[in-house]
Amino acid sequence: MVSNDIKQQIISEYIKTAAGRAKLAASMIQPLRLRRDYTAVGRKTFLVEQLPDGALPIYDKDPDVTAYVVGEEGENILAIQKPRRVIFPLFEIASNPEIPLTQIKERRFDLIERSQDLAKAQIQAAEDERVFAVLDSIAVSGFDTLPGQTNPDINVVAPISPSVLADAFAEVERHDLRVARIYMNATDYADIRKFGRDILDIESQAVLLKTGLQATLWGAQI
């Protein structure tokens, strides 16, 4: 990592010449975009553990709980019931945006850095696709073997109301669990914003909104 002193020296050298100043100006220009780059939200659902070198992702599970695992190559969702120890297969998620050499000189912004940002967004989107595939599998069949079908589906007629969410919270909290986060389509944010500040704690800071956090409801993040 380059220290601030070295960065200051480099900037000072660039400022001395017209070509250097033009290069600095070009590095500050942002391209026009069709949409905001994707920001991952799936990692907020699970505990993320960094594996040390040489360690295998092997975990013990409760005998009465079905483990849901993303299979080889990240394609299928596997339900593992009997084994008490689960081995998670490793797979890679990659993105390889291609940049024509002529475009690097023609564009008035740092195209290489922009391509890296796009690759990061594509990797995060692919990761979230698998995260929500696991959540869908758990919601469909994850608790069918338990008495009373834990967390049954609640049919909702738009718009979403506080009473509907309160009933959904109750289904989780009756198992002595706390609701941590609510995932919903961004098109439904309009219904949430109409709840008012007596119910909803609006997150208005731009930095928080960019992370995907819209508001806080009864201690749970939306």
Q: Mind listing the pLDDT tens digit for each residue in 120-130?
A: 888 888 888 88
111 backbone dihedrals φ, ψ, rounded to 5°: -70, -35
**73 and 117 in a common domain:** yes
**94 and 43 in a common domain:** yes
94 backbone dihedrals φ, ψ, rounded to 5°: -135, 160
**CA torsion angle 183 176 218 39 (round to 10):** -30
| Cβ neighbours around 78 below 10 Å, total | 15
Tokens, residue 42:
């799936």
- Amino acid (one-letter) located at 151: N
Q: For residues 175 and 93, give the distance between their C-alpha atoms in angstroms, rounded to a whole number.
A: 35
**135 and 39 in a common domain:** yes
- Residue 190 in this model has a pLDDT that exceeds 60: yes
142 backbone dihedrals φ, ψ, rounded to 5°: -70, -30
Tokens, residue 86:
């689960």
**162 and 131 in a common domain:** no
- Structure confidence by residue, pLDDT tens digits, 13-61: 888 888 877 777 666 655 555 567 777 788 888 878 888 888 888 888 8
**140 and 196 in a common domain:** no
Question: How distant, in Å, are the alpha carbons of 86, 143, 194 from that of 65?
Answer: 12, 9, 39
Q: How many domains does the chain have?
A: 3
**176 and 92 in a common domain:** no
- Residue 95 in this model has a pLDDT that exceeds 60: yes
pTM reported for the whole predicted model: 0.61
Q: For residues 209 and 195, give the distance between their C-alpha atoms in angstroms, rounded to a whole number.
A: 18
**76 and 17 in a common domain:** no
Domain span including residue 57: 34-148
- Amino acid (one-letter) located at 85: R
**88 and 23 in a common domain:** no
Q: How many CA atoms lie within 13 A of 4 on its CB side?
A: 0
**23 and 60 in a common domain:** no
